[in-house]
Amino acid sequence: MAKFETEKLRNLGIIGQGDAGKTSLVEAILFNTGMTDRLGKVDDGSSNMDFEPEETKRKITITSKLHHCEWNDHELHIVDTPGYTNFLHDTRSCMRVLGGAVMVISAVDGVKAQSQTLWRWTEEFEIPLIAFVNKLTVNALIISKLLMTWKKTSVVDRLRSICRSAKLKTSRVLLT
């Protein structure tokens, strides 16, 4: 792996409530950037990120993990974080070092309390955030309904345009 100057390094957190698809997204990033030669899957225990025995057994992320890849002449340090309430303190611990974060939102489940908590924490730590709407192929919840959920959390205006473009990006990731 090439060596990068400090200004070319980025610490990127992948955050969001449990089951949103964070670890799967990280696996897709690693695979698509050539860091892995197979797409790791949480469901069959082949994930590169959820490797602890308890994690492969329960199919959830319990502690934050770090991986890296290269993109656009930068080195990305990707932090995959837990989203379930019991382990959320671990996600908060990582926030101090994040230069940016992607909040993964499940189009199936909408926005739960954990996502709102995480959103507030990114504001507290002043972390630039983008939203990534996942699981759109499931078709269980249309994007407008998801946005209605966000409306109740009063952050919809910031997210509306991002969610629209995320729809295209998500489809692309899912097809790979």
Ligand X SMILES: Nc1nc2c(ncn2[C@@H]2O[C@H](COP(=O)(O)OP(=O)(O)O)[C@@H](O)[C@H]2O)c(=O)[nH]1
Q: Which positions touch Mg ion (CB under 5 A)?
A: 22-23, 61
| Cβ proximity of 94 and 78 under 8 Å | no
Least distance from Mg ion to the Cβ atom of residue 88, Å: 12
135 contributes a contact to ligand X by CB under 6 A? yes
Instruction: Give φ, ψ of 126 to 5 degrees.
Output: 55, 50
Least distance from ligand X to the Cβ atom of residue 56, Å: 11
What order of strands is seen across the sheet that includes strand 100-106?
65-71, 74-80, 9-15, 100-106, 129-134
Least distance from ligand X to the Cβ atom of residue 111, Å: 13
Please give the residues from 8 up to 47 whose contact with ligand X meets the rule CB under 6 A: 16, 18-24, 42-43
CA distance 55 to 60: 5
Q: Residues 35, 148, 162, 174: which binds ligand X (CB under 6 A)?
A: 174
Q: Residues 134, 141, 146, 163: which binds ligand X (CB under 6 A)?
A: 134
137 contributes a contact to ligand X by CB under 6 A? yes
Q: What angle do CA 46, 52, 53 make, to 5 degrees?
A: 85
> Which residues sit opposite 13 in a β-bridge?
79, 101
Stretch that binds ligand X, among 68-76, 89-97, 111-119, 129-137 (CB under 6 A): 129-137
Q: How many CB atoms lie within 10 A of CB 134?
A: 24
105 contributes a contact to ligand X by CB under 6 A? no
Least distance from Mg ion to the Cβ atom of residue 59, Å: 9
User: What is the pattern of x (binds ligand X, CB under 6 A) and - over residues 79-98?
Assistant: ----x---------------
| Residue at 18: amino acid letter | G
Least distance from ligand X to the Cβ atom of residue 144, Å: 19
Rg, the chain, Cα only:
16
CA distance 46 to 122: 30
Q: Which residue, 60 or 76, is less far from ligand X as judged by CB?
A: 60
